[in-house]
Structure 1
């Protein structure tokens, strides 16, 4: 269960990426993730429960991320991914650029009861 203090728990900084077709520099297009926006977020690591324990045994970690609800965060869908900006950085240059840090697959999105925030279920350890 998320803390009820609201924005007081948004200690982390995350970026949300959406799949898009991008030119590869050779006249072709390639599907890549493109950053859409960054937000402050709060993480709650899931504990207990048969499904959570099974996920951990498979090397995945389910997490609930709370972000403020706004016109951008309402666009997030399960085919997006999330990156932990405070614990990673871009490496390489040009077409060889890649994110070295935590990347999470977005699984589901649910508004909170007060409709001020969104709780986003993400999962680490899976291909995004």
Structure 2
């Protein structure tokens, strides 16, 4: 298992977004565009060297491991959300690829994000 992130690693602000739910006028709920929910400091680590990650690089995607401090906000994050990370002034959107894990590492919520895929 990976070791918990240290304080200096929390050096990036990550904005989390979820799809809005609206009424289509006929009483049905439909999902709308992504809306900002909150922004928190996060520790980002590059994806490992597994075959899936190597294949993702060939497809033009980037995999990151994201650690945020556990809170009432961060425990709301699901795999239906997306993360927006500012990288030297450029906002990059990442899909959260699996249900976040808040149990394995007490005090933190961990998940993987992937760029270049639909959220």
Superposed pair shares fold, TM > 0.5: yes
Gaps (5+ residues) in structure 2? 24-29
1:77 is the counterpart of 2:68: no
Aligned to 2:114: 123
Deviation at residue 70 of structure 1 after TM alignment: 0.3
Match of 1:14 in 2: 14
* Pairwise CA distance, 1:87: 4.3
Q: Within 1, Cα distance between the matches of 2:103 and 2:9?
A: 14
Question: Could you state the TM-score of these two structures normalised by the residue count of structure 1?
Answer: 0.75
Tell me, in whole angstroms, the C-alpha distance in 2 between the residues paired with 1:86 and 1:56.
18
Kindly provide the CA deviation profile for residues 92-113 of structure 1, in whole angstroms up to 9, marking residues without a partner as x. xxxxxxxx62000011211264
Q: How does 1:1-128 map to 2 (within 5 A)?
A: 2-21=2-21, 31-85=32-86, 87-88=88-89, 101-108=91-98, 109-111=100-102, 113-128=104-119
**Runs of 5+ in structure 1 lacking a partner?**
24-28, 89-99
Encode CA deviations 1:44-102: one digit per residue, 9 max, x unaligned.
Answer: 111311111011111111111110000010000001000014645xxxxxxxxxxx620
TM-score, structure 2 as length reference: 0.81
Q: Distance in 2 between matches of 1:51 and 1:39?
A: 28
What's the CA shift string for 1:16-38, capped at 9, x where partnerless?
00000369xxxxx8711110000
C-alpha separation in 1, matches of 2:87 and 2:59: 26
Q: Is the 8 A contact 2:16 2:36 kept in 1?
A: yes
